[in-house]
Structure 1
Amino acid sequence: MMPALPDLNPPRHRVIPTLRWMLPLLWMLLGAVPAGPPPKPLLLLPAPLGIQATTFSVADVRDDRADRTAVAWLLPVPARPGAPAGPALATDLQGGAAEALRQFVWKSLPRTTGQRPIVVRIKELRVQETAAPGGQVEGRVSVRLAFEWQRPDGPPLLLTEYRGGARYGRPLTSPALVEPTLRQTLADALRYFNGWMTQAADHDVRLATAVQPTFRQDQRQTEPDTLFYDPTRPLRWADFTGRPQPGEYAATVFPGFAYRGQPRVVRGVVQLGLTLQVFVVRSSSWVGPGQQTPYNLNHEQRHFDIVRLVTERFRRKATADSLTVEDYNSILQLQYLKSFTEMNRLQDQYDLETRHGQDAATQERWNQRIDAELRGYGVIQ
């Protein structure tokens, strides 16, 4: 039997005690000391804001940041006093950014029922620390929040954004200033939005909650070529200044109607002043030679009266219940186009049934019908 050969590769566990004994010496030679424990999540505390929100209530907070890894990058407290700063460590808010800020807002600014629901969107929320000479730390807070109104009858509406920040300095051994500085910056954001809402709620049309239309008739008699409808000032043959056209008609009148709106916001309501204009264009209206009779003038006057009746119907369709803050202009325009179509239809029907005034009996029935409607709307007595 051959003798056993010596073990040329002794087990590694035999040198481990030596390496363990040498590790502290290696750290000292390299001039580094192991960092202390990783920072705990930041607990964001409520803040006394000293305000009372009367125009809004925060319904939710949502995190729109592209990177949601953490909120803060903080320099850790070294394990040994006097040791240099280690690299910044990612540190989040307790519960995550959205939940922490949600609880912060709800506890700092109590919710009120019946107010405009606002969603706060986190666009930027970051605390970045860097080492400074003399064992100090410089911190920078950056905050960008968007405030969005969750409208009950429309898509969400972005109202405004807040951009703010702060700087602080602290000893490397004490991170106590981080949370109060962040808290103060967020409190400033809420105070800013409360002030913005207080000023905008009464005057910003986007924040209006209702539309209240009012109407008046334009009855000016100062335009040289435009005669506005006035029940006390009927048509005269002198108003027909256009050149007579050949054909079978005795006369032609050119009536129409329009409206002008002047909105203003008063205590959150759009006060919409609408001026209705029922008019005749004199230069487009004409009468043939020898046709200037009272009967023919009455027929043309009834064309003018029909337009006034159509505007009264238009007026009654444009009510506070039918107009919304978001779309009152488009709703009015649609009703106007429908009324304009109705006007043309009634004018054609009137001429067809009266045979352009040649059927006296039918003309009289239209006279009575038109007068009855004008009295029903209070235009004439």
Structure 2
Amino acid sequence: MQRIISALIILFPILIGHVFAQEIQFELTRVEGQTLDNSGFELVEVLEIQSNTTSIGSIYNANNQLYKVNIKKSISDGIKSFYKNSLLQIETDRAIQIRVVDFKISEKQQSGKVASGELKIKFMYYLKGSFEPVHLVDYEAGITYQRSIHRTDLVNQILNKGVANSLVFFNDWIKDHATYNRKLAKSVKLQIFEKFRKSDQDTVFYDSNQSLTWNDFLERPNRTNRNNAMIFTSLAMEGNPFMEDGVLVLPLEIKIYMLPGSSWVRTDGKNDYSLNHEQRHFDVSRVVGNRLINKLKAFDLNPENYEAEINDAFFESYREMNKLQEIYDARTRHGLDRNAQNRWDSILDQALKGDMEEIEKELKRGK
């Protein structure tokens, strides 16, 4: 009997203070009885996106009247305070945003002395960084209960229990996923490589120890093209990232190749001079591939946008390759200017050794 009287004494000023609004306010505090080990995150933002944020529902008071339920200050402030008070505070750069889709409580009268209720929760967890937040995982749960109509304090326990369950869930999720979930990677490690690939009639891969021959030109000559020969060269980049001890590792293979089925030569154009001109087109692609490798090695990649940076670098190099091929043909007049051809032979030989000074000048000059 003393416990019921105490509850009524506590609620009495609330009833007087909110007689017109008919509201009751609860506070989210902390996980009861313990402080959780932090798996490596900080809750920095809580967004309320549920349809009605002015109230989280209704419960019955001791007079069997429905009262609207609010969280002290706000739902977002309450959840942030709860997480902060319940977790060990550590230094971490993993900033978390919670989007509150559902945090609602409702009750029904079982009798004049008993109310039954349900708390529904749905939190969406996002990783915040320099760009748009990245969705990680959702937590969705419910708690059903029965209580004495006089024990409104039990509702506060239910609310805190619901938030505590969400915290335990997400803290464990971070711990379980930190080492292998790409979204949680703290750094990116590039492994750039080239491997020997055997050439065939479909693809001839660049080999510094093996020059092209006319046998690598298999397409029929283009009747509308006035050139004696035409070569199709290109570069490609492939990689499949994986996680290793929380680090995102990205092996990247750079491939320089020509396509025999898209390259041709006229019978009267088969001579060593013309073959050298076509080989130098292949060398241009090799030089651009080397420049791409150097660019990638200099990157300090962010896990949030590493794909965009790498892809941008590749497409920039691809455009550079096409531009340099056009400049090479324009300067040499497709090989007809022998003095210019000799100069470009020297420029490309130096570039293949790593000296890009003349290549940089030509790219700045353009066609």
TM superposition score category, shorter chain reference: 0.7 to 0.9
Alpha-carbon distance in 2 for matches of 1:319, 1:275: 13
Matched, 1:313 2:291: yes
Q: Is the 8 A contact 2:186 2:247 kept in 1?
A: yes
Q: TM-score, normalised by structure 2?
A: 0.80
Which digits, 9 at most, give the CA deviation of each residue in 1:178-202, with x for residues without a partner? 2222222211100111122223333
- Rounded to whole Å, the distance in 2 between the matches of 1:60 and 1:334 is 32
Q: Secondary structure at the match of 2:344?
A: helix
Match status 1:335 vs 2:320: no
Aligned residue number for residue 140 of structure 2: 163
The answer to whether structure 1 residue 241 and structure 2 residue 225 are counterparts is no
Change (3 A) 1:249 1:96: closer
- Whole-angstrom CA distance in 2 between matches of 1:212 and 1:140: 48
Q: 2:325 maps to what in 1?
A: 347
Counterpart pick for 1:74 among 48, 52, 59: 59
C-alpha spacing 1:352/1:127, structure 2 compared with 1 (3 Å): closer
> What residue number does 1:144 align with?
122
Name which of 172, 176, 185 aligns with 2:149.
172
TM-score normalised per structure 1: 0.77
* Deviation (angstroms), 1:50: 5.9
Paired residues for 1:206-221 under 5 Å: 206-217=183-194, 219-221=196-198
Could you say which residue in structure 1 is the equivalent of 2:8? none
Distance 1:53 1:222, change over 3 A: same
**Percent of residue pairs bearing the same amino acid type:** 28
Question: Distance between the aligned counterparts of 2:200 and 2:34, measured in 1?
Answer: 59
Cα distance in 2 for residues equivalent to 1:203 and 1:189: 22
Q: Check 1:63–1:361 CA distance in 2 against 1; reply closer, same or farther (3 A cut).
A: closer
Q: Tell me if structure 2 keeps the 8 A contact 1:49–1:187.
A: no
- Name the SS of the counterpart of 1:91 in structure 2: strand
Write the deviation string for residues 125-148 of structure 1: whole angstroms up to 9, x where unpaired: 233222224732212222222223
Which residue number corresponds to residue 278 of structure 2? 300
- The aligned length equals 335
| Native 8 Å contact 1:218 1:229 kept in 2 | no
In the superposition, relative to structure 1, how do residues 127 and 342 fare at CA in structure 2: closer, same or farther (>3 Å)?
closer
Q: Cα distance, 1:218 vs. partner?
A: 5.1
In angstroms, what is the RMSD of aligned CA positions? 2.9
Query: Aligned match of 2:45 in 26, 36, 60?
Result: 60
Structure-2 change in CA distance of 1:171 and 1:376 (3 Å): same
Q: Match of 1:232?
A: 209
Name the larger-Rg structure: 1
| Structure 2 residue matching 1:376: 3-state secondary structure | coil
| 8 Å contact from structure 1 (residues 141, 165) kept in 2 | yes
Unaligned runs of 5+ in 2: 1-10, 16-22, 357-367
Task: Describe the SS at the equivalent of 2:118.
Answer: strand
Q: Distance in 1 between matches of 2:198 and 2:61?
A: 83
Q: How far is the alpha carbon of 1:290 from its aligned partner?
A: 4.8
- Higher mean Cα deviation, 350-359 or 191-200? 350-359
Aligned residue among 112, 120, 135 for 2:90: 112
Structure 1 Cα separation of the partners of residues 77 and 328 of structure 2: 69
Q: What corresponds to 2:161 in structure 1?
A: 184
Q: Is residue 276 from structure 1 mapped to residue 254 from structure 2 by the alignment?
A: yes
Deviations 1:300-351 (A, max 9, x none): 2111111100111122233463654344444334333332332233223323
Match of 1:89 among 48, 60, 67: 67
Say if 1:101 and 1:354 are closer, same or farther in 2 by CA, change over 3 A: closer
Post-superposition offset of 1:292: 3.4
Assess, with a 3 A threshold, how the Cα gap between structure 1 residues 230 and 181 changes in structure 2: closer, same or farther: same
Going from structure 1 to structure 2, the CA distance change for 1:371 and 1:222 (only over 3 Å counts) comes to closer
1:46 paired with 2:23, answer no
